[in-house]
Chains A and B, each alone.
Chain A
Amino acid sequence: MNGRRVARLLAPVLLAATGAVSGAQIQATVTGADGKPVTQAVVTLKPTGNSPVPEGNPKSVVMDQVDKEFVPLVVPVQAGGAVSFPNKDNIRHHVYSFSAPKTFELKLYSGVPSKPVVFDKPGVITLGCNIHDWMVGYLFVTDTPWFGKTGADGSVSIDAPPGEYTVRVWHPWSSAMAEQKVRTDAAPAKLAFRLSVVPPPVPARK
């Protein structure tokens, strides 16, 4: 997968997300079993205990379809946020999801669908195209406003108020999530995650 290109495209979005909250900064670096950086991993921070999770203003995000692929592979979104699925190809797509948190389908369309889809429940939404079986995309719906996605270097910085957090790392190609607890203060905390990532067999494109 051309992860480098995905990272470049997503960079402004991440900056926007991280820059929204002022506070402590948590820098997480995810590497695979082979020690190489893992990109497109979603890192979430959830306050431990009964610390309330502030109701954020979930941002709308975009999951493009470019050259018969979902771009990027993974899009994190806070629950209640809307995702639009603009079709940048000159053919039509039929985007669907049978995932438990949200099932929907955008029947054959081109261009930008009139309404974005709002995802209320947290969880992983696997996106497919009924026309192009190999197209796979993931929406990671979080129940916390503090989240980020690793870049090409496998690291992400998340600003969050100081406190005690459970940091989880998810990646579509890993069967398990990595998790660490961290207490933050003013100083930035650096966390390293090791996640076994197995790319799925490359499906045949047609």
Chain B
Amino acid sequence: MIRFARLEVRIVVFFVILLICMQGVMFTLVTASGQHIAERRVREELATGERLFRRLVDQSNRRLSDAASVLAADFGFREAVATRDLGTIQSVLRNHGARISADVVLLADIEGMPLADTLDEGHSGAGLPQVSDLLAAARDKGKAQAITLIGGVPHQVVVVPVLAPVPIAWVAMGFKLDNRAARDLQDVTALQVSFLSRRPGDGWRMHASTLPEQARVPLLHSASRQSTLDTFSFIDVGDDHYATLVPVLGEGSEGRVVAVLQRSLLEGLEPFHRLRNILAVLAVVSIVLSIAGSMLIARSVTRPVGRLVTTARRIQDGDYPEHVAVERSDEIGELASSFNHMLDGIKQRESQILRLAYEDALTGLPNRAMLHDRLTQALSSARRTASPVSVMVMGLDRFKEVNETLGHPIGDRVLREVAVRLQGVLRESDTVARLGGDEFAILLPTGDSERVQNVMRRIVATLETPIVIDDQAIDVGGSIGVASFPDHSDGADTLLRQADMAMSLAKQANSGYAIYDPAQDDGRRGHLSLLGELRRAVERDELNLHFQPKLDLATGAVHRAEALVRWQHPVRGFVPPVEFIPFAERTGYIRQVTRWVVERAILQAGEWHRAGRSITISANVSTRDLMTPDLVNLVTGGLQRHGTPASLLCLEITESGFMDDPTRALETLEQLHALGVRLSIDDFGTGYSSLAYLKKLPVQELKIDRAFVMHMVTDRDDATLVRSTIELGHNLGLEVVAEGVEDAASLDMLRVLGCNEAQGYFISKPLPADRFEQWLDQRGSAASAAA
């Protein structure tokens, strides 16, 4: 979330800085150009104002001139002037002056001597000297006008003659340039107007001004610093600058009169300051808005993204949440929507993967993994309730033949049909699983032994009906093994193994079904540790070979012996072969054991051969050994290494061992035969090998299983079997060996039946190499003694 918060901050900061920069630039531009524009505008306004001012002055002149002319042309006035009727003259001057609000009206005779005026009593006649310049000009030009000082006050004055009809007198009429006049001019020109004068040899004096009081002194200061005021300048007044124009109004002997026209720069700038203030407010508002806006936008991105991140993390943890709410139609909405699709996809694929992991693809049944899970679950709940849980393992009989004869597609359909039938006889809460190959497992999470029996019977019954595929009736039976909690074990693995073992027994016994019997379990005593110990035993030479002689019944000589492996455990002591050989066969470790045995047998045969004893040693080879080329390599190498003639090695192969992969087995046997190794079929009569196949095998010897030999004296059937087997062997051109000979009667009987060799406790138990040698030596001396 912090990262997204940073993104948000980045967006906000970027836009705000951008905006501030833009506003700053705009602000600077507006201020700079505002200053520039304001100055220019102030100059223009000043120039315009001056033009207006001059026009106003002209207008005033005209007004004065018109009024004076009207006065001068008045017949009565002229008559009064001509007759020097001063009383009348004065009243006429007042009257006409009042018409245009003239501040002063004077009358002088034609020589310029004052006759009458409208000035106050005390100043009467004082005005004329100041207008004498004007009179001179008027005499020249008929009339004159000027701005001059009258009584020290600047006046705009016009002088016209009184014509009767030649000039007989002069009328002067004037406006005082006072504050009122300045204000009137200001009203029109929008300029600050001041009137200043300077008498020769004197300083500037201010007569009237529209300036505020505090601005007048700086103006006078500025004026006094210069002998003549600049026509244009800026005069500083406090914070303000005044653009100043100084038109000269009058220049005469009385002095100079000027107007000072001014425009405040501050006033000129005022619109720009207002604009600047508005801009400042706008800037603040827009910055605030952009902060808010960009935060909103940024959040509208980061918040949904944050939610997606949270959801993604939950998915990562294997927790599949509900869909992310899609509230928008923009890119974020699309992302959320895609995200939901992805979630669906992941969910779907995971369920598919789970299905593949826990389901058998062929039958759609749970597989071994799932069965294991459910069994574990069932066990954990059964432990709390102390209720029984049973697990069955069922293997199909003759399924291999179905595959071989009808092909795998048919085999697969058979398996599917079996799956359907199994499900048909079970409850919903039970689990049918396919373990692989033709093996199925059934988990009954509840139910006592009675139900178990019931289910087993029903399964057997349902498989009794042949499976019909493509109009072909296929007969597949099943063998079932059962193990139950708590009777047999409390672990899932153990229960399965026990059920599997019981199934094997049922298959062997062809009994349909079997319940696990601890007594038959040779793997009970910690097979796993046994495996480790067996491995160690091979490595540390804890194993050794015992030899059991084979007695030649025709000659009574012993030229052959069977090598039997013995395990002298350092702690347990002697471990009988039956306790570790079947186990080694199941785990595959039998190959190492075989290797060891064959190697030792070759070695021993070689030693004896070199010692002058020609003893052919038989070694038992397991089914698995026939399936790999290792055995051939081993034998070839061993014979070479130990200098043992191949004829002194005999390999005994269990009859049933061929049948899993007859072709391969045959191949191996051919190679061994080619080496010159003697081959023997062990335990003959327990398997189902066909005679046709037997005939093809390159074997020289056939061993009748001890189960038939041990009771042949008392059991007629066994005797018949033994006799016909011997005949069969002989007919096939094989030598026949009987094992399990435990009494003289049996030995005699075998001799009578024509059996070639006999092996058993009656002759000798298996003996270590040295004792076997002694035994041979004793027999030899005995034989020679007998001879």
Contact = CB atoms under 8 A, between A and B. Distances in A.
B82 A103 contact: yes
Nearest to B142: A201
Contacts of A109: none
Interface string A110-145: 000000000000000011111001111000000000
Interface in B161-196: 163-166, 168
A92 to B, nearest CB: 15
B775 interface: no
B80 to A, nearest CB: 9
12 contacts: A96-B164, A98-B78, A98-B81, A98-B83, A103-B83, A126-B166, A127-B165, A128-B163, A128-B166, A129-B165, A136-B166, A201-B142
Contacts of A130: 75
B143 to A, nearest CB: 10
A200 interface: yes
B79 interface: yes
B66 to A, nearest CB: 14
Given A98-B82, A103-B82, A126 B142 contact: no
A133 B73 contact: yes
Point out which of A133, A134, A172 has the most chain B C-beta atoms below 10 A from its C-beta.
A133
Interface in B67-84: 73, 75, 78-79, 81-83
B166 A133 contact: no
B255 to A, nearest CB: 30
A137 B141 CA distance: 21
Contacts of A134: 165
Residue in B79, B81, B166 with the greatest tally of chain A CB atoms within 10 Å: B166
A98 B166 contact: no
Taking each of B73, B165, B166, which has the highest tally of chain A beta carbons within 10 Å of its own beta carbon?
B165
Interface in B137-177: 141-142, 163-166, 168
Interface residues of B, number: 14
A133 B78 contact: no
B714 to A, nearest CB: 187
A129 B78 CA distance: 12
Given A98-B168, A128-B165, A133-B165, 18 more contacts: A96-B164, A98-B78, A98-B79, A98-B81, A98-B164, A99-B82, A103-B83, A127-B165, A128-B164, A129-B165, A130-B75, A133-B73, A134-B165, A135-B165, A136-B165, A136-B166, A200-B166, A203-B165
A183 B163 CA distance: 41
Interface string A188-206: 0000000000001101000
A200 B142 CA distance: 9
A96 B168 CA distance: 14
B165 A126 contact: yes
A130 B165 CA distance: 8
Nearest to B141: A201
Contacts of A128: 163-166
B466 to A, nearest CB: 154
Interface of B: 73, 75, 78-79, 81-83, 141-142, 163-166, 168
Contacts of B79: 98, 103
Given A136-B165, A136-B166, A96 B142 contact: no
A96 B166 contact: no
A130 B166 CA distance: 12
A180 B116 CA distance: 39
Nearest to A201: B142
A130 B73 CA distance: 9
A15 B154 CA distance: 60
Contacts of B73: 133
A106 to B, nearest CB: 13
Nearest to B167: A200
A130 B79 CA distance: 11
B83 A133 contact: no
Contacts of A127: 165
Contacts of B165: 126-129, 133-136, 203
B163 A96 contact: no
Nearest to B140: A201
A132 to B, nearest CB: 9
Interface in A13-54: none
B555 to A, nearest CB: 189
Nearest to B165: A128
Contacts of A203: 165
Contact of A133 (B81, B141, B163): B163
Nearest to A100: B82
A201 B161 CA distance: 13
Interface string A164-178: 000000001000000
A172 B83 CA distance: 21
Nearest to B168: A98
A167 to B, nearest CB: 25
Contacts of A98: 78-79, 81-83, 164, 168
Contacts of A129: 165
Contacts of B83: 98, 103
Contacts of A126: 164-166
A103 to B, nearest CB: 7
**Centre residue among B75, B81, B83 by max chain A CB count within 10 A:** B75
Nearest to A127: B165
A200 B73 CA distance: 18
Contacts of A96: 75, 164
Contacts of B78: 98
Interface in A148-190: 172
A74 to B, nearest CB: 13
Contacts of B164: 96, 98, 126, 128
A146 to B, nearest CB: 27
Nearest to A138: B166
A201 B143 CA distance: 11
A202 to B, nearest CB: 10
A149 to B, nearest CB: 19
A129 B142 CA distance: 19
Contacts of A172: 166
B107 to A, nearest CB: 15
A98 B168 CA distance: 10
A203 B83 CA distance: 24
A98 B76 CA distance: 11
B498 to A, nearest CB: 152
Interface string A87-108: 0000000001011000100000
A200 to B, nearest CB: 7
A201 B138 CA distance: 12
A133 B81 CA distance: 16
Nearest to A137: B165
A96 B79 CA distance: 10
A61 B284 CA distance: 99
Nearest to A99: B82
